[in-house]
Amino acid sequence: MAQDKKVALITGANRGIGLETAKQLGEKGIIVIVAARQLSAAEKTAATLKGSGIDAYGIQLDVVNEADRKAAAQFIGDKFGKLDILINNAGVASADGFVSVISQTKDEELQRIFSTNLFAVVALTRELLPLIRKSEAGRIVNLSSILGSNTLHADPNSPIANFKSFAYDASKTALNAYTIHLAWELKDTPIKVNAAHPGWVKTEMGTDAAPMEIPDGAKTSVALATLGTDGPSGRFIHLGNELPW
């Protein structure tokens, strides 16, 4: 089914930055597909957005579940025939928080975090890329973190130098590498791929200690999702500024 309006899929969109991203994109007239691990949560979120005049649909999408990923692609293909924007927003943090004993990082922790923060992003993007290729101006936004910057972690004077959470940080570093590689693959297409650092935001993951409010935390994702043809690709961005890899 042909669609004149842009269509966006946001993973982990039932709360926090994902929900706000869906709201801000919807307010721009973009059709938003809000994905959550539980269908009830996705449908409730979509209903709330619809109440604000946003064209929203809720789908079940546990990003680590292959059947869910395939079902999402089937739904989007059947309903819209294309996907203009993919925002890989879903992610998990380390259960251990910031730790100084990096050498004691458990295999289970690495596998849990990489499964969601990297492997699922690669798999979902691969599943949806044929639909994104049908867009006149596809945009892929990978939610990273400044904690994935090797440059800043290696600098003892940087603001993140003493905030080490190896499993989480390494998953975002790897996600940044995927962003660079995918952008290179798609360099001769209209598709742009970028990594977004939303900032330290008052969410369940960020806690109330964070300095940024949720509406500001969604701004980078929204900006990268709506880049013009002259916008960057293969970059690591926070509120319009480029971060070091």
> Considering only CA atoms, which of 105, 131, 140 is closest in space to residue 11?
140
Query: 35 with 13: CB under 8 angstroms?
Result: yes
Structure tokens at 36: 């959550």
Would you give the DSSP letter of residue 212? B
CB atoms within 10 A of CB 125: 18
Residue with tokens 């539980």: 38
- Is residue 57 part of the annotated active site? The answer reads no
Residues 210, 228: Cα–Cα separation, whole Å: 31
Contacts of the segment 99-106: beta carbons below 8 A, 24+ positions apart: 99/164, 99/165, 99/166, 100/164, 102/164, 102/166, 105/166, 105/167
Which amino acid, one-letter code, is at 100? Answer: S
Residues 206, 238: Cα–Cα separation, whole Å: 16
Q: Of the residues 57, 80, 114, 168, which is catalytic?
A: 168
List active site positions. Answer: 168
